[in-house]
Structure 1
Amino acid sequence: MTDALKQLSDRLGGIAYGGDYNPEQWPREVWDEDVRLMREAGVNLVTVGVFSWAFLEPRPGQYEFELLDEVLDLLHANGIAADLATATASPPPWFSLRHPEALPVTADGVRLTHGSRQTFCPSSPAYAEAAGRLAERLVERYRDHPALALWHLHNEWGNHNAHCYCDSSAKAFRDWLRERYGDLDGLNQAWGTAFWSQRYGDWAEVMPPRATAAVPNPTQQLDFWRFSSDALLRLHRREAEIVRRLSPGIPLTTNLLVTLEKKVDGFSFAGECDFVSVDQYLTAADPEAHVGLSLDADLARGMGGGAPWLLMEHSTSAVNWQPRNVAKTPGQMRRNSLAHVARGADGVLYFQWRQSRAGAEKWHSAMLPHGGTGTKTWREVTALGHDLKALAEVRGSRVESDVALLFDWNAWWALEMDATPSRDVRYLDLVRAWYEALWSLGITCDLVHPSSDLSGHRLVLVPSLSLTSDADASSLDAFVREGGHAAVGFFSGVVDENDHVRLGGHPGAYRDMLGVHVDEFFPLREAETVRLSDGSEATVWTELVEPRGAETIVSFDSDPSYGGPVAGHPAVTRNAHGAGVSWYVATRPDADALRGLLARVCRDAGVTAPAEVPAGVEAVRRRGPDGTYLFLINHTSGDVPVAARGVDLLTGTVADGRTVVRAGDVVVVREDGTPSSDR
């Protein structure tokens, strides 16, 4: 992966900068202004053709490439490289009219109609054939074009159409299940069909989890989510095969949605790309949205095994699709963009270059806004272009982190199926709570799959992993026995990969490692709180924990009026396991308590922050073969002094043991002992 992104950044001569370019939305006379302004802003890469299928194939089998020919020639003549999309994300109206059976069907049996994007069934043979033909014609025509630097497969796989319940999907689901389980006996065992008389005697009886009278079979639901992600992955692999066969010298990627999208397993797609690319958009209603940005960036890095990655889309200001589309304040776009670079991005791209006049995204911000070059956004866009040129030497370096946080889409799906102990236990809430506590301590972490090699870390966090395989549980156990530290959140390890309860007591797969036995879960009522022995409060969940080797660190208050249904029992435990240490957190502590707990866990594991900074200031270090780079990002309203020694790449200012990061500003220090790129 690293080599492919290095190939791209070497060609560009620095960090990639640009965005989606949709010239088909504009008259030809606008295009010359576009490339002139791109040069002014420092743009070196644009994504072309994402939603161009109707222009490239206006009628079935009738391909017209003249517009794209001219666009690519114009970009090349102006020194701007192209990330060329396969244009398969939005079939044109003629396709839906000719193939109505390819339109997606909801769980209630409603067939959707054309009129937006991604209106196709992922299991439709007609779609796969038409998309494959288009991709092949595109690759054959442009594989040798001098503007081409990167292939962009599809766009945001499964964003709107991940789940289809039509007859084609039902057939494909049965085929997927045959491959997974072999025969009906294997399926019946995995799905636990002895319950509610659901045992299947013929494959024709097996359906997707369509709307039904009561709670659907949980493993059927879980497998359908897995199948649906794999159906999209099969389409991705089909396009990748075409590109690699016909254009072997050009890297390929696709824009994944990290935590923006629950329905697609990002890790499986990441492994099929030459490097990871993601889209990330702030939640405007969240005053701490920059923490969610960091989480997504750390997940993008984890999806690529720690290698640098590409930010394919984010916004210069407001988006168009949230309930209240709040604009970014002055300086916020710069902080957002450089925070991604701090956490491993070797490219910063936006949706989109020029803000649309019409259509569903006309109020989505862009690099060139409706107001043109006299706007705040344009001034910030051009200034950021200069900043990224100054940071060119950072590309290829890797983020330093001693902490891994286990993240798994399968566990996310399983936790939020029907009929779980509490609707208040939500996967991202738990992950975000632990991550935010770590972020506030200034400690960098990698979000990685449970099957990842953990040996390069000191500490592994498991905020929520109700579903885990034996192999992944054994891997964490071995990590701790060999001297690592781990902290595990409540309701983890309780079911296997088929969503079957692990018997013998909770927390199932982690019971021996943690040195505890959980007799019973006691979820709390809505808005109910309990008090802990250290005076803090907790919500959502409690458990009846019996230590079996572990020591009790914090208990539920001994008074049932305050300690709740498990008053006096352990809430947080610590266990020596082999040469390492494991912690168990049997409730959801309030933010301050969780922060204090994880600070203790980190000290215990020997984990320290890259620099001593107050809450609200990010400190992240990237290390390359020639030295290290300390990124300091101030999200507060006050100036902050930080111990640092080196040169700020953005200003040329020397930090002789101390630098001041102004309110809302960013400092990137090439630390002492690091030679400059031109030495």
Structure 2
Amino acid sequence: MPETSPKGLTRLAFGGDYNPEQWPESVWQEDVRLMREAGVTMVSAGIFSWALLEPSPGVYDFGWLDRLLDLLHENGIRVDLGTPTVVPPVWFYRAHPDALPVTAEGMRHEFGSRGAICHSNADYRAAAANITTKLAERYGAHPALAMWHVHNEYGVPVSACYCDSCAAHFRRWLASTYGTVDAVNEAWGTAFWGQRYGGFEDINPPRLSPTVGNPAQALDYKRFADATMRENFVMERDILHRLAPGIPVTTNFMTALSQCDSVDYWAWGREVDIVTNDHYLITDGRRTHVNLAMAADLTRSVAGGAPWILLEHSTSGVNWQPRNPAKAPGQMARNSLAHVARGSEGAMFFQWRQSRRGAEKFHSSMLPHGGTHTRVWREVVELGASLDSLSTIRGTRTEADVAVLWDWHSWWAQSLDWRPSEDHDARERADAFYETLYDRHLTVDFAHPEADLSRYPLVVVPALYLMTEAAGTNVREYVENGGTLVVSYFSGIVDEHDAVHEGAYPGPLRDVLGLTVEEFSPLLKDQSVRLTGADGSELSGDVWTEFVVPRGAETVWTYADGLTAGHPAVTRHRFGQGSAWYVSTRLGAEGLDALLGWATDDAGITPRADLPRDVEVVRRTGESGTYLFAINHTGSDAKVPLEASGTELLTGERAAGRLEIPAGAVRVVRLDG
């Protein structure tokens, strides 16, 4: 079995992308000296270096990389070594211009950025396999090597190509997936609009057409593009496994739902030896620490609950958003340790030394343009010491309270054209439900809709437009066996081919929810509706309403106005030993809090009213003990109760009764016993 942690790394991972090719070799000694001062334990190297390693076809220059890896090893720094296949050299594109991707509109991209790759291109695949082989043969036994880093951020910025090579590859993929063209016609519903195909040779990618194309075809093309990138990863991974046995292989994910929507990370998580993730704060005025927690929980879930590694984030501001504010003093450590609390085995950054040239020269780094006389550098050194004091948490696992169902295929399908309302956003509903659970101090696991849910007292379905029959059976059995389920509107509507489930909405959820939906009634922009409870209390909803007909479910809240006035808005259905809640409109924060309050009562989850807002408390548990992370995202000092005494690892102080967390600070208690 491949290793599932970086080889030779005995502490938490701390460091960043190291790109010494941007600097004179005379700077390397200073870099390594400062890395040691900061407590760096691992760096990522070689990710964008193909043009240096193979400056012309079949001509290689490994001397500089030899010297770099030897220098890092001499100073006790482990290496996450990249295969540089995200940016082929310009000579490659001169020889193979058809390896540049083509858009759905027929425009071919040019060389000059990164990730401009047609993943179906045979010449690209051969060249990628060759450079990966050369690296594995040369460095597979190097004593500095901790793990392999294949490619970089698959799917960013290009995931799908629409060229003729991709068309031929797509036809082969369809033949392998469906067997016959008749099966494709059935799955895609090509009887509609006369789209029936007589043979695979008739099928092309969903290129630009006069109006909306076939949604099932578009959905399958997203699957194909994802699978094609994954084929290339597996090709490189298998070369590395063969030539460098015992060294784990990864590639950096971007699980934050706002940063990469073209990759099915459930599938990718099964292919890597270690799940790693890149996360950058989206500074759009929202509570960035909530999105951070959500991304970390999703990454841990993709890893099957196992420890993972934060392979990139920023020390301060980034450079690619419309406005890029700096992080506040202390925020870098708080962000980093929040990832660690939720399962990361360290905190790494892009990048070590801030670039002077290129597109990311204003992206923050561990060593800023201003050098060691800067706030960022001082905070980097402090963070290195903090992570060193937490080394005993390695191998422990984060404990979750509830599950949220999420499926990238459903998100892809719901995002296609001609849906009932463009204002309904699956990611927005996932964010909203997650934020409410976060504010109730509940730690979330994300789960695939067909995964085992039996260990969770509460399962939330914020947006699952596409739902297979197997997933429907799964949640039905979950509730029958005593679970509590919460489902939001426009879920359970279509099958895996984007075909509406036969019968009334919501398809496989009808029985467990105890209702049918006769008709959707989306609201116009800025419209809202009132909901009333039996006690006269009111909530409000917007974006969406439905004509719900109870078939065993009890009505908890009723529409008080609008077209659906008098119809149920929120229902509860006792089913088997459990209960299932349904909400047919978009509730705001107040309504979601009320809904999830009732649902957590049903699930027997004890409220955490003793914890302040924006102070998150998360546990990691394993053979080395139980660790309580308390992270204060507020500007005021806070206290949280401790059920047992322990040692606070960042200060070395004993803690008992109530733990004090200064404003903006983090405390980690190793509990006694």
TM range (shorter): over 0.9
User: Which range is displaced more, 474-483 or 448-457?
Assistant: 448-457
| 1:591 is the counterpart of 2:589 | yes
Range 595-604 or range 613-622, more displaced: 595-604
Which residue pairs with 1:81 in the alignment? 78
Aligned partner of 1:677 in structure 2 is none
Please state how far the C-alpha of 1:546 moved relative to its aligned partner: 0.9
1:172 is aligned with what amino acid? H
TM-score when normalising by structure 2 = 0.97
Cross-structure match for 1:637: 635
1:509 Cα offset (Å) = 1.3
Which of 615, 621, 630 is the aligned partner of 2:619? Answer: 621
Gaps of 5+ in 1: 558-562, 674-679
Does the aligned pair in 2 maintain the 1:5–1:309 contact within 8 Å? no
Structure 2 CA distance, aligned partners of 1:193 and 1:326?
50
Residue 676 of structure 1 is matched in structure 2 by: none
Within the alignment, does 1:186 sit opposite 2:183 as a pair? yes
- Tell whether 2:605 aligns with 1:607: yes
Structure 2 residue identity aligned to 1:569: H
Deviations 1:216-273 (A, max 9, x none): 1100100000000000000011001101111111111110111210011111111101
Alignment of 1:385-424 (within 5 A): 385-424=384-423
Deviation at 1:628, TM superposition (A): 1.1
1:163 is matched with 160
Aligned to 1:459: 458
Q: What is the DSSP-based 3-state SS (H/G/I as helix, E as strand, rest coil) of the residue aligned with 1:474?
A: helix
Return the match for 1:33 from 23, 30, 35.
30
Equivalent pair of 1:5/1:308 in contact (CA under 8 Å): no
1:295·1:435 contact (CA, 8 Å) conserved in 2? Answer: yes
How much does 1:63 deviate? 1.2
Residue 611 of structure 1: how far off its partner (Å): 8.5
The aligned residue for residue 374 of structure 2 is 375
Aligned to 2:133: 136
Helix, strand or coil at the partner of 1:479: helix
Match of 1:12, SS state, is coil
Tell me how far apart the structure 2 counterparts of residues 31 and 136 of structure 1 sit (CA, whole Å): 27
> What whole-Å deviation, never above 9, does each CA across 1:530-581 have from its counterpart, x for those lacking one?
1110312111111111111111111111xxxxx2111121111111111111
The root-mean-square deviation of aligned C-alpha atoms, in Å, is: 1.2
In 1: Cα distance, 2:600 partner to 2:395 partner: 28
- SS in structure 2 at match of 1:541: coil
Query: Superposition pairs for residues 89-488 of structure 1, below 5 Å?
Result: 89-258=86-255, 259=257, 260-488=259-487
Structure 2 runs not aligned, ≥5 long: none
SS of the residue 1:132 aligns to: helix
Per-residue CA deviation, residues 135-168 of structure 1 (Å, 9 max, x unaligned), is 0000010011000010111110111120100000
Match of 1:204, SS state, is helix
Structure 1 counterpart SS, 2:372: helix
CA shift digits 1:279-336 (9 cap, x unpaired): 1100012330111111100000000111110101111011111111111111111110
Instruction: Quote the offset at 1:610 in angstroms.
Output: 7.5
For the residue of structure 2 that corresponds to 1:373, the secondary structure is coil
- Offset of 1:603 from its aligned partner? 2.1
For the 8 Å contact 1:610–1:619, the answer to whether it is kept is no
**Whole-angstrom distance in 2 between the partners of 1:501 and 1:77:** 62
Q: Does structure 1 residue 646 correspond to structure 2 residue 642?
A: no
Q: TM-score, normalised by structure 1?
A: 0.96
Out of 556, 559, 562, the position equivalent to 1:556 is 559
Q: CA deviation at 1:614?
A: 1.5
How many positions carry a matched residue from both structures?
A: 665
CA contact (8 A) 2:5 2:248 kept: no
Aligned equivalent of 2:53, options 42, 52, 56: 56
Contact 1:96 1:103 in 2 (8 A): yes
Summarize deviations over 1:19-38 as a string: whole Å, max 9, x none. Answer: 10000000011100000000
1:277 CA displacement: 0.5
Distance 2:340 2:89 in 1: 36
1:70-101 superposed Cα distances (whole Å, 9 cap, x missing partner): 00000000000000011111111111111011
TM-aligned CA deviation for residue 639 of structure 1: 1.1
Amino acid at match of 1:475: N
> Matched residues in 1 for 2:610 and 2:335: separation?
21
Partner SS for 2:340 = helix
* Corresponding residue number in structure 2 for 1:575: 573
Alignment counterpart, residue 543 of structure 2, candidates 540, 544, 555: 540
**What does residue 665 of structure 2 align with?**
665
Task: Describe the SS at the equivalent of 1:546.
Answer: strand
Q: Are the structure 2 counterparts of residues 518 and 564 from structure 1 closer, same or farther at C-alpha, using a change threshold of 3 Å?
A: same
Query: In structure 2, the residue corresponding to 1:141 is in which secondary structure?
Result: helix
Cα offsets for 1:459-490 (capped at 9, x unmatched):
11110000011112211111111111111110
**Relative to 1, partners in 2 of residues 1:623 and 1:111: Cα closer, same or farther, differing over 3 Å?**
same
Are the counterparts in 1 of residues 637 and 661 from structure 2 also a CA contact under 8 Å? yes
Matches of 1:395 and 1:603, distance apart in 2: 34
Q: Output the CA distance in 2 between the equivalents of 1:47 and 1:606.
A: 45
Separation of aligned partners in 1, 2:622 and 2:604: 23
Instruction: Give the structure 2 partner of residue 14 of structure 1.
Output: 11
Letter of the 1:310 counterpart: I
- Per-residue CA deviations over 1:82-133 (Å, capped at 9, x if unaligned) read 0001111111111111101111001110011100011110111010000000
In 2, the alpha carbon distance for the partners of 1:98 and 1:610 equals 63
